[in-house]
Structure 1
Amino acid sequence: MKDDIRQFLISALIKMKYDPEAVSGSSSLGPAGIDLDSLGVADLVMQLEDRFGVQIDEDESERFAMMTIDQIAEESASRLQAA
């Protein structure tokens, strides 16, 4: 599941016009990485929720912005397994 989520996130970011060369599992979403703005983070979180049914609170979006794609995939997969 983690790999599916990871691939989905990478594909979603590429569709959002982020450079495919800059997007990898170790990329963080925030300023230290691909510099996704708050609306972009919210959009990505909504896509993740819609696709996999994982629940992410609005307050958590800021924390997700500081995580890498791999960390988000791990966190999301863990939540799905716990549900």
Structure 2
Amino acid sequence: MSADVVAFTIESLRQMNFDVDGADGGTVFGPAGVDLDSLAVAELALRVEDAYGVKFGEEDMERLAIMTLGEFAADVASRSTSLDGAVK
């Protein structure tokens, strides 16, 4: 599932007009990578919530902003698994 989340996230960022050429699981969301601002993090979280049925709280937003794509994908997979005991 993590690879699917990475691919979905990269495509979402591309649709949000971020330069993600060469992005992979090690690419960071913060200034050293994609450089998402707080609004972009919130939009990305909403897209992922809709696609994977997971929920992010306000307290998660700051933490998400400093993750790598791979860390984010693992977090989404973990949240999805904890919802019903099986990865969606």
Q: Report the equivalent of 1:16.
A: 16
Take 1:19 and 1:39, find their aligned partners in 2: how far apart are those partners? 16
Aligned-pair Cα RMSD in Å: 1.1
| Structure with max Cα Rg | 2
**Higher RCO structure, 1 or 2 (CA under 8 Å, sep 6+):** 1
Q: Which runs of 4+ in 1 moved over 4 A?
A: none
Which sections of structure 2, spanning at least 5 residues, go unmatched?
Answer: 84-88
Which deviates further from its counterpart, 15-24 or 31-40? 15-24
Q: Is the 8 A contact 2:20 2:34 kept in 1?
A: no
Q: By how many angstroms is 1:22 displaced?
A: 4.8
Q: Is the 8 A contact 1:64 1:72 kept in 2?
A: yes
C-alpha offsets along residues 7-54 of structure 1, whole Å, 9 cap, x if unaligned? 100100111111232532211111121111110000000000011011
Which sections of structure 1, spanning at least 5 residues, go unmatched?
Answer: none
Give the length in aligned residue pairs. 83
Q: Report the equivalent of 2:59.
A: 59
